[in-house]
Amino acid sequence: MTGPERGYLLLCAELGDGKKPLTLPQIRTLAQRIAACRWACTDPERDVTMEDLRKLGYDEDFAGRIAELLDREQALAEYLSVAAELGIRPITCISPGYPVRLRRLGARAPAVLFCRGKAELLTQPAVALVGSRELSAAGRNFARRVGTLAAQEGYALVSGNARGADQAAQTACLEAGGTVISILPDGLQAHEPLSSRMVYLCEAGWHLPMSACRALERNRLIHALGEKTFVAQSRLAGGTWRGSQENLRRGWSPLFVHDDGSPGCLALISGGASPVRTQTLNSLRGLFCGQLSLNPDGTEGP
């Protein structure tokens, strides 16, 4: 691990010590200010002092907060030691293995990720699948077909590990010999990869418990990691709905919705998502290859 990577962990990771880490925009501003200083060029490895932080334009309170975060070396060493025993490793936004597609999130890109499983899987081309926990038979069938096709066409499947659509697609993908990237809303210590072709990922801290906020926030990672995102089923509320709506507003990835005629599906389509009314493997396969054109009514084009 390089010195700058360690600095990102000290400043942006949750280490279970009650210290509030910096956001990515805050640390970017700090990095820019340091880079503009003469001493950063002549002695880039030296520790940043309170006096340095004052000269960078920070007030006493914020400078003290930065200094306190940088002083967590022992806490970080202990945190990473326990993580290593569990097969968990950190990835910062300046690490070589950081998923490139997450950079499209801009100021909302995670500064620090933790993964359990083969981190190399994060560099694969991927498609994402989201959907409701309570599924119709047709919705479950659609989720499984997307998971199967991801494996057959050489894409990793990105999903959120929740019961329902997520787990149906993930299971089908692994059964077909594919790769799964599962974004968790809770701690990695509770999840050991089911296969060497599966990696679990979370942001900020590997130990953090499940919360509604973390569950909602992880949706942006799922939508951004996929070159395309498929929606198996959606209500007019909940995580699938909110994540898909935000994707449509921000354009993280093209959104394809299983058109089951439900109000949630129709609302997403009216907001700009592409309807998919055909469910055969051969027809869906074209969407993965970018070869399937859809008519305005959502049926397969000529």
Percent of the chain with pLDDT over 70: 89
228-285 pLDDT per residue, tens: 999 999 999 999 999 999 999 999 999 999 999 999 999 999 999 999 876 555 567 7
Out of 7-16, 159-168, 240-249, 284-293, least confident range: 284-293
How far is Cα 236 from Cα 161, in angstroms, rounded to an integer? 21
Q: How confident is the model at residue 107 (pLDDT cuts 50, 70, 90)?
A: confident
135-164 pLDDT per residue, tens: 999 999 999 999 999 999 999 999 999 999
111-128 pLDDT per residue, tens: 999 999 999 999 999 999
Assigned token pair, 132: 């409701």
Q: How confident is the model at residue 88 (pLDDT cuts 50, 70, 90)?
A: very high
Residue 273 · residue 253 · CB < 8 Å: no
Residue for token digits 């334009």?
57
Residue 112 pLDDT: 96
Domains and CATH numbers, the chain: 3-85 (no CATH), 119-289 (3.40.50.450)
Question: Residue 299: pLDDT above 50?
Answer: no
Residue 135 pLDDT: 94
DSSP state of 300: B
Termini Cα distance of the chain:
52
As a whole number, mean pLDDT of residues 82-107 equals: 94
Nearest residue to 273 via CA among 296, 294, 256:
256
Looking at every residue in the chain, the average pLDDT score rounds to 89
Mention every residue, 6+ apart, whose C-beta is less than 8 A from residue 89. Answer: 83, 114, 115, 119
Residues 154, 118, 128: CA angle, nearest 5 degrees: 45
Q: Dihedral of the CA atoms 196, 197, 201, 205 (nearest 10)?
A: 10
Nearest residue to 160 via CA among 100, 106, 226, 104:
226
As a whole number, mean pLDDT of residues 35-45 equals: 62
pTM of the model: 0.89
Q: How confident is the model at residue 69 (pLDDT cuts 50, 70, 90)?
A: very high
Out of 205-219, 229-243, 279-293, least confident range: 279-293
Question: Residue 288: pLDDT above 80?
Answer: no
As a whole number, mean pLDDT of residues 33-55 equals: 73
